[in-house]
Structure 1
Amino acid sequence: MDMFFRFAIVFYIIFLNLTTHILANEQQSLRILHVPSYHMSWEWNSSQLQGFKDGLSLSNVEYKIVELDTKRISDPTLIQQKAMIAKNLIDQWQPDLLYTNDDNAQKYVAMDYVNTTLPIVFSAVNRDPSIYHFSNSSNATGVMEYEHFIPAINLLRTIKKDIKHIAVIVDSDPMWAGVVKRIKEKIKEVPDIEVTQWYVADTFTNYKDIMKSLQTKVDAVALLGVFNIKDESNRNIDFKEILRWTAENSKLPDFSFWESRVDSGTLVAVAISAYQQGYIAGEMARKILIDGVAPSDIPINSTEKGEPMISLARAKALGMNIDVQIFLNIKTKKQYDWSE
C-alpha cells in the first residue's frame, strides 16, 4: 500500500507538471509578425490573415503587420524601405513566428531569414519555393497558391461549349513564370484545347492592343497578370480599371482564378480561397508554436478545392443564355463592383 501511495504521488507530480507546462504554453503571449505583399484593405490579404488566425486558434497572440503594398507601389527603393521596417521589427521585437503572404513578401523579407531560428510560415506563393530557398530549409513551410486551371476550363465550357483556342495574358511580374509553367503542363490533360497565344502586357496601351487583336484569333482569354501594368507615366494601373475596360470592350469570354476578378467583370473563375490559404498556414503555425513540430517536418502544401463562380453581368453583356442548372452549384455575381 505504501509503495502504491508513493507511486500515486509521483504520478500526480508528473501530471501536474505536464498540465502546468501546457497551460503555460496556452497562456504565454505569442508574437507574430505578418508581412503581406500587398495591402490589408484588399480582401485577398485580409481574408488570408483571418484564415490564419482561425487556423492558429489562439487568443493570446500579439500581431504586428508591415504592408509591402507592392500592388500600388512599383518603386523598388520604396518597397525595400518597407521591407526594412519589417526586418527592424524582427531584430527589435523578436517575434515567435513570421507569417508572409504572396511572393513579394518572400522575395523582400522571408528569404533573408531562411535557416535561422525564426520560424517562417507563408501562404499564396506562386513561384517554386526553391527560388526563395524554402525547399529543404530548417525553418520554413507554407501553402502554395496553385490555380485551378482544368476546373476553370471545364466551367467555361459548360457555358460556351465550342471553345478550342485560348490566349493567356500575364504582366511582367516574375511570379507568373510558375503559373505559366503549370498551365503548359495542365493543358496537356485537355487535348481538344490549345493555348495558341501567350502575351506579356507591360503597359495599359499594350494590353488594349493585345485584347483588340485577340477578338478574331481565339475563343477565350485567361486573364492572369493584370497588376503590374503601367500607364504612360509609369504608374501602376488599378486592376479594376483594367478589368472594367475589358468588360466594356472585349466580346471574348474570359476566365481567371480569383474572386476579385469576377467581381470586376471577368466571366468565370474557379477561385483560390484566400481564407483557406491562410487557414492551412495557421494550422501549420499552431503545430510549430504549440506542438513543437519543426517547420522542416511540416510539408509545404496547397489548397485543393476551388470555388466556381460566374459574373452574371458579364454573361448578359456577352449575350449568353446560361442553363439555370449551372447556378445550383456555383457562386453568382449579379453586378460589377465598379457599377455599385
Structure 2
Amino acid sequence: MRPLRKSRKGWAVLGFCLSLALLASACARTPAPTASLAPVALTPAPSASLRLFLIYGGDVSETWGGQVRIGLVETLVREGEYRLGETLVLGEYRLPLDVGTLVAPGTTAIAEAIAQSQAFAPDILITVGNQATRQVISAYPDPHQRIVFCSFSGNVIASGLNRPNVTGVLELPYPIQTGRLAVSMLENPAKFMVLGDVSSTDNVATEAIFEALLKDPPHPATPVWRQTDDWEEWQTFVQEAATLDFVILGKYDHVHDAAGAPVPPDEVLRWTLLNSEAPVFGLWQETVTQGAVGGLVLSGEEQGKSAARLALRIVGGTDPAALLPQRPERNILTLNLAAARHWGLLAPFELLVTASVGGTFPVP
C-alpha cells in the first residue's frame, strides 16, 4: 500500500477534479427517469388516509429494512404531510429465506404474506428486496393492486416486473466511481481486489461488480476477482490483500463456517477491516460507516425516500406505468476519516467538503 502524499496545491487540484468526476460520472451512469423522483407538489390533502403494506424479503437484513422504513415514513410525513398512525397507516410482513416455508398447515409464507396484504387492503403495496419483489408480484392475484418495489437489483423485464400496476426503485451499486475514489487517495496503485460472497445475485453479485470494474478500471489500477461463501477461504483472500493496493468490498451476507453455520455479516466485516493490510472501500453505506474508507454508496434510507416519492406520485394521480423504475436520485459520497487514519491515507480538502463524513473503525 502506498498512501498518497501531495502538496496542498496538489490536493486542491486533485480534490476539485475528483469531485467533478464523481458527480459527472454518477449522473452520466444513472438512467434518466421518465418522471422525476424529486419532491412533488401534487400530494393528497393531509386529512386523506394512506394505507401501505410492506413485505420484506428474507434476503433483506433487519438493519437495511429498518433504514428503508425510516426513509419511507419520514418522506411521507415531511413531503406528503401525513401523520403516522393517523393518516398514514402501515402493515408489515417479513418473509423467511424460503418462501415455501409452511407458516400454518397447508399455508406457505408467500401465501400468508399475500393474504395479509389483501386483508389490509392497502392503497399501495411496497416490496423490499429481490426475493419479495419477484415472488410477491408474480403471485399477487389482483392485477390492479398498485405496487412499488425497492432494493431490487435484478433485471426488471426478465423478472416480469414490467407491468402497468408496478414501478419501483433499483439497488445498483457504483463500483466504478468508488474505484476512482480509491485511486485518488493512493499513489500509483497497480492492482486491487474485488472481494465478495458467491450467493448474492443480480447486479450486486461479486462477479457483476468485478465485470464493471474490468470494463472501466480506475486508471492505473486493474482488478483481481475473489469471491467465496467459505469463511476460511475468505480469511485467506483478506490476507492476500497485503500484496495489493486496496480492496473494494462487495456483499458479505452469505459467508459460512466449516460447520455450515452462517457467519454474521457484521463479524465478517469487522474481521476483514482489522486484518486487511490494504485499505478497504465499500459500496454500501453501512460498510463505510462501520470501518471502510469510503465510496459512492447505496443507502436503505435513500431507497425508502425514493419509494415514498413514487407513492406520492401515484396517490396524486400518476399511473404507475408512467413511472420508470430507477435508482434513487441522491447518491451518497461517503468518507470515514477514522478508517482513512487507520490505513494512513489523506483526503483532499475538497473531498471533505463534498462527502458525507463520519463513521468509526472497529476496536481490536
TM-score by length of 1: 0.79
State the secondary structure of the residue aligned to 1:150.
Answer: helix
Match of 1:331 in 2: 356
Q: Distance in 1 between matches of 2:141 and 2:320?
A: 11
Partner of 2:69 in structure 1?
Answer: 49
**Structure 2 counterpart of 1:299, one-letter code:** L
Cα displacement (A) at 1:316? 2.6
CA displacement at 1:274 relative to structure 2: 2.5
Aligned with 2:219 (options 174, 192, 195): 192
Name the counterpart of 2:328: 303
Q: 1:237, CA displacement in angstroms?
A: 1.6
Cα distance in 2 for residues equivalent to 1:118 and 1:265: 42
Q: How many residues align?
A: 312
**1:182-226 deviations in whole A, cap 9, x for unaligned?**
65246534463555422321121121122223432x322211110
Cα gap change, 1:237/1:285 in structure 2, threshold over 3 Å: closer, same or farther?
A: same
Aligned to 2:178: 152
Q: Residues 214 and 190 from structure 1, CA distance in 2 versus in 1: closer, same or farther, beyond 3 angstroms? A: closer
The aligned amino acid for 2:353 is L
Tell me if structure 1 keeps the 8 A contact 2:199–2:229: no
* Residue range with higher mean Cα deviation, 204-213 or 188-197: 188-197
- Distance in 2 between the 1:316 and 1:67 partners? 39
Does structure 2 conserve the Cα–Cα contact (< 8 Å) formed by 1:262 and 1:309?
A: yes
Shift of 1:260: 0.6
Q: Is the 8 A contact 1:32 1:98 kept in 2?
A: yes
Q: CA deviation at 1:132?
A: 2.5
Q: Give the counterpart of 1:318 among 332, 343, 348.
A: 343
- The structural deviation recorded for 1:34 is 0.5
- 2:291 is paired with a residue whose SS is coil
Percent of residue pairs bearing the same amino acid type: 20
Q: Give the direction of change, closer, same or farther, for the CA distance of 1:324–1:150 in structure 2 (3 Å limit).
A: same
- In structure 1, the residue matched to 2:294 is 268
Which letter does structure 2 place at the counterpart of 1:319?
A: G
CA distance change for structure 1 residues 28 and 39 in 2, over 3 Å: closer, same or farther? farther
Structure 1 residue aligned with 2:101, among 67, 74, 77?
Answer: 77
Instruction: Give how far 1:250 is off.
Output: 0.9
The 2-side partners of 1:309 and 1:51 are apart by: 18
Q: 2:89 aligns with which of 57, 62, 83?
A: 62
1:7-46 paired onto structure 2 within 5 Å: 27-37=47-57, 42-46=62-66
What is the CA-CA distance between 1:280 and the residue it aligns to?
1.9
Residue deviations 1:257-284 (CA, integer Å, cap 9, x gap): 2121012222222122332222221121
**Residue-by-residue CA offset, 1:221-276 (whole Å, 9 max, x unaligned):** 21111001112332222211111111221111221221210122222221223322
Report the 3-state secondary structure (helix = DSSP H, G, I; strand = E; otherwise coil) of the residue aligned with 1:50: helix
CA contact (8 A) 1:176 1:225 kept: no
1:165 match = 191
Structure 1, unaligned stretches of length 5 or more? 1-21
Q: Which runs of 5+ in 2 are unaligned?
A: 1-41
Q: Partners of 1:269 and 1:175 in 2: how far apart? A: 21
2:160 is aligned to: 133
- In the alignment, the residues of structure 1 paired with residue 150 and residue 209 of structure 2 have an alpha-carbon distance, to the nearest angstrom, of 18
Q: By percentage of residues, which structure has more helix?
A: 1
AA aligned opposite 1:63 = L
Q: Distance in 1 between matches of 2:280 and 2:325?
A: 31
Match of 2:271 among 235, 245, 256: 245
Contact 2:71–2:305 under 8 Å retained in 1 = yes
Work out the CA distance in 2 between the residues paired with 1:89 and 1:47. Answer: 23
The answer (yes or no) to whether the contact 1:48–1:276 under 8 Å persists in 2 is yes
Do structure 1's residue 104 and structure 2's residue 104 form an aligned pair?
no
Measure how far apart 1:46 and its partner are.
2.3
Question: Which residue among 295, 307, 316 is the counterpart of 1:290?
Answer: 316
Task: Please say if residues 190 and 220 of structure 2, whose CA atoms lie closer than 8 Å, have aligned partners that are also in contact.
Answer: yes
- State the TM-score, normalizing by the size of structure 2: 0.74
- Counterpart secondary structure, 2:115: helix
Take 1:40 and 1:152, find their aligned partners in 2: how far apart are those partners?
23
**Rounded Cα–Cα distance in structure 1 between residues aligned with 2:235 and 2:342:** 19
Q: 1:115 to 1:253 in 2, by over 3 A?
A: farther
Q: CA deviation at 1:131?
A: 3.6
The offset of 1:167, in angstroms, is 2.0
Report SS of the residue matched to 1:270.
strand
- Note the 1:220-239 alignment, pairs <5 A: 220-239=246-265
**What displacement does 1:69 show?**
6.0
With over 3 angstroms needed to count, the CA separation of the structure-2 counterparts of 1:161 and 1:115, relative to structure 1, is farther
Q: What is the CA deviation profile of residues 70-101 of structure 1, one whole-angstrom value per residue up to 9, with x for unaligned ones?
A: 5xxx7973799543431220233332221012
